[in-house]
Amino acid sequence: MLDTDVIETSPPVLRRTSLYDVHTRLSAKMVAFAGYDMPVQYPDGIIAEHLHTRAQAGMFDVSHMGQLKLFGRAAETGLERIVSADLTSLRLGQTRYSLLLNPDGGIIDDVMITRYDDHLYMVINASRKDVDIPLIMEAVQSAGGAHEDAVQIMSDHALIALQGPQAGAVLQNFAPQSDRLMFMQSAVMQVAGVPAIVTRCGYTGEDGFELSVANKHALALAEALLGHAAVAPVGLGARDSLRLEAGLCLYGNDIDETTTPIEADLGFAIGKRRRLARDFLGADRILRQLEDGVDRLRVGLMIFGRRPARQGANILNGSGEIIGQVTSGGYSPTLERPIAMGYVAREYGQDGLKLGIDVRGKTIDAQVTPTPFVPQRYRRRNVQ
């Protein structure tokens, strides 16, 4: 009865992050993900890890993600040609969510870009490294940058996420300066005695941080964080259910090269200056969609009953016609019911609309619902 991908042990060719020994010590269940041997869950299980992150703080190894530094004007000019962001308005220590686009306006990746004094720091998806890095190199070179000097791939760095309502209080113990960071701000500081790039961001909808540290320091930092009573280790399983509740896209599921930012409801990632200048890749198609509307759009779906709708399930209208597909779906530990997101034909996108989803031949009831499903609790200046 078991799906082979659930119990398959990872082949030895997989790469290990610098926190591999922590995962082993904690008896994590390891799975192959984007070429890495990663913890999908620890013995407490996905639901417990998920709820712990919403209640206190979870620590995630996200070292499989790609980290880069881009130095110099040419690198910035080159990068701007292939992303949706207005980088000129990005202030020192500010982080921005952006999209790498193809000439048709399809999404090559969703990324985070932070401005530091002499470089841009970027975090890209693990599964897209092989695509993104050559593209970035080429863009930098075409803007006149010598890519070997301008682009530094930080494979010598680990990335640790600390997420949850207690994340701020916990990190203050190890890095008092972290308290001054607001959501989407970043600074280099000592954390538990080691230098780290600390960015107040995440993928759970909670307040929290991503900590980039040299591989040689990662294990000690992880153990220090885990030593705090409020912190529990959290695997990729709960990372997925947390981001789904937060309404955040997973590259490869909810967005890919066939979806545009407007279809994906990510129009906010296109800088205003870029919009006015119409100078980003796919601008013609994307701006036309902004004016005329899209054929399909990404929506949240609240599911009635206990049966989860998974990726690939067809979404049906009242007449039983297929009008879209689920791109992410699963059980919401916070809401104690299944939730999903997917694309539906434009006329079915309004909130509150009742739709069906075909799950193994049975039609389950769903309702178009605004996301996030669970309120985001980022730390912003005007809050508290």
Q: Which residues bind other proteins (CB under 8 A)?
A: 1-3, 5-7, 29, 40-41, 45-47, 237, 241, 306-308, 310, 330-331, 333, 338, 360
Distance CA 264, CA 282 (A): 14
- For the CB of residue 349, give the shortest distance to other proteins in the complex, in Å: 27
Each residue of 229-238: b (16+ CB within 10 Å) or e? ebbbbbbbbb
Distance CA 58, CA 205 (A): 12
CB 17 within 8 A of CB 36: yes
What separation, in Å, do the N-terminal and C-terminal C-alpha atoms of the chain show?
50
Please name the residues in contact with 39: beta carbons below 8 A apart, sequence gap of 6 or more. 23, 26, 28, 29, 30, 31, 61, 233, 235, 236
Q: At what angle do helices 73-82 and 129-142 cross, to 10 degrees?
A: 120
Instruction: Give the DSSP letter string of 272-312.
Output: HHHHHHT-STTHHHHHHHHHH--SEEEEEEEE-SSPPP-TT
- For the CB of residue 244, give the shortest distance to other proteins in the complex, in Å: 10
- For the CB of residue 339, give the shortest distance to other proteins in the complex, in Å: 12
- For the CB of residue 330, give the shortest distance to other proteins in the complex, in Å: 6
Task: With CA atoms as reference, report the closest residue to 186 among 216, 163, 208, 218.
Answer: 208
Between CA 220 and CA 93, with CA 68 as vertex, the angle to 5 degrees is 80
- For the CB of residue 276, give the shortest distance to other proteins in the complex, in Å: 44
Beta bridge partners of 298: 343
Q: Which is nearer to other proteins, 48 or 188 (CB)?
A: 48
Q: Which is nearer to other proteins, 45 or 267 (CB)?
A: 45
Q: At 87, list the tokens.
A: 């980088």
Task: With CA atoms as reference, report the closest residue to 92 among 189, 196, 185.
Answer: 185
Q: Please confirm whether the linkage preceding 12 is cis (ω < 30° from 0).
A: no
- For the CB of residue 103, give the shortest distance to other proteins in the complex, in Å: 36
Q: Which is nearer to other proteins, 100 or 244 (CB)?
A: 244
- For the CB of residue 274, give the shortest distance to other proteins in the complex, in Å: 38
- For the CB of residue 211, give the shortest distance to other proteins in the complex, in Å: 26
Q: Which is nearer to other proteins, 108 or 248 (CB)?
A: 248
Please name the residues in contact with 324: beta carbons below 8 A apart, sequence gap of 6 or more. 296, 314, 315, 342, 343, 344, 345, 348
